[in-house]
Structure 1
Amino acid sequence: MKKTILGLVTLALVAFTSCKDDATKKINEANITAAAERDANASKLPVLTFNETEHDFGDITKGVPVETEFIYKNTGNAPLVITDIKSSCGCTVPQDWSREPLAPGKTGKFTVEYNASGPNKITKTITVSANTEKGSEVVKIIANVIEPSIQ
């Protein structure tokens, strides 16, 4: 028991005597300035805003491709970079988007082609990956696919 108490007292003395230096003297003012600037710039993010987030084709004929265009705008404070656009299935093909940075206030666009292979009402999602706060945005296409009429 005496050895345990003696060991704890020795450990406490070492711990308290090793903290002589004032930690505030070790702060580098240049690091504080750089961190403040970094934090201020972190709040400057692009914001991806669409003219419409859902496009309804209405009635379309099975096997006849249809196409729409989604227009977007960078309403944020930093350049917007779209890294990828993917659809929920192979029958929906997003294309023609710019991979170049889009300045704040500027607009861009991409097209989505859909080729229905079966009848019924459909909803397909298109995920736009970008350097926004959320990292991705989703737009949708909707259609009512009907069989071609036989004449």
Structure 2
Amino acid sequence: MKTLKLSLFAVAGALFLSFSANAQQVAKKDVKTSSVPVKAAVAPAAATPVDQKPTGLTFKEEVYSFGDIEKGKPVTHEFTFKNTSKQTILLTNVKASCGCTTPTWTKTPIKPGESGNVTATYNAANEGAFTKTITVTANDTEQNKVLTIKGKVNPGAAVVAPANGPTQQ
């Protein structure tokens, strides 16, 4: 009697597992064969920025090159923009890509047709070429504007010691 109960329990368990595995295969097959609804639902999430509502900020320029600059002398550039939307815009966040760049920006609401600015100051402490970005977030859209500064930091003027005097380090 005990063996019969164990056998029935084993058969019931096996049937349950086979039904469960079959149900999973059918569900996977349904997902693979229903291409139109699934892809249509996935496509907007991976949409390109063209599909998004553009920001109402129109910058005079979005990339600025300082060219060659001297090491140890910070440089600053002001990016100006105009509110080309029909609503008041507020810059909610402006963030530089690294600590060597410090942004400041218009913190008051910008009405339609008015202008504002984002100023980027780059600390030219390290020699070599650089490209840094400043991400501007406004309240009018989820799409950010990315401003870019670039240039090349050259060594500063070398200190030349007198011919017969001590050298400076």
Q: Do both proteins adopt the same fold according to a TM-score greater than 0.5, normalized to the shorter chain?
A: yes
2:147 aligned with 1:129: no
1:73-112 residue pairs with structure 2 within 5 A? Answer: 73-95=82-104, 97-112=105-120
Kept in 2, the 8 Å contact 1:84–1:129? The answer is yes
**Displacement, 1:45?**
8.2
1:35-114 residue pairs with structure 2 within 5 A? Answer: 47-95=56-104, 97-114=105-122
Structure-1 residue corresponding to 2:124:
116
Structure-1 residue corresponding to 2:7:
none
Kept in 2, the 8 Å contact 1:98–1:108? The answer is yes
**Displacement, 1:149?**
2.6
Runs of 4+ aligned structure 1 residues displaced above 3 Å come to none
Kept in 2, the 8 Å contact 1:73–1:107? The answer is yes
| Cα RMSD after superposing both structures | 1.8
The structure number with the bigger radius of gyration is 2
**Greater helix fraction, Structure 1 or Structure 2:** 2
TM-score (norm 2): 0.59
Kept in 1, the 8 Å contact 2:127–2:152? The answer is yes
Over 3 Å counting, the alpha-carbon distance change for 1:60 and 1:143 in structure 2 is same
**In structure 1, what is the Cα distance between the partners aligned to 2:54 and 2:88?**
8
Over 3 Å counting, the alpha-carbon distance change for 1:116 and 1:67 in structure 2 is same
| Amino acid in structure 1 at the alignment position of 2:127 | P
| Amino acid in structure 2 at the alignment position of 1:100 | T
| Amino acid in structure 2 at the alignment position of 1:140 | T
List gaps (5 residues or longer) in structure 1. Answer: 1-43
TM-score (norm 1): 0.66
**In structure 1, what is the Cα distance between the partners aligned to 2:131 and 2:106?**
25
Structure-2 residue corresponding to 1:138:
146
Q: What is the aligned-residue identity percentage? A: 43
The alignment partner of 1:135 has SS state of: coil
Structure-2 residue corresponding to 1:31:
none
| Amino acid in structure 2 at the alignment position of 1:75 | T
**In structure 2, what is the Cα distance between the partners aligned to 1:85 and 1:134?**
14
Over 3 Å counting, the alpha-carbon distance change for 1:45 and 1:122 in structure 2 is closer
List gaps (5 residues or longer) in structure 2. Answer: 1-52, 161-169
Over 3 Å counting, the alpha-carbon distance change for 1:146 and 1:60 in structure 2 is same
Moved more, 98-107 or 45-54: 45-54
**Greater strand fraction, Structure 1 or Structure 2:** 1
Kept in 2, the 8 Å contact 1:62–1:119? The answer is yes
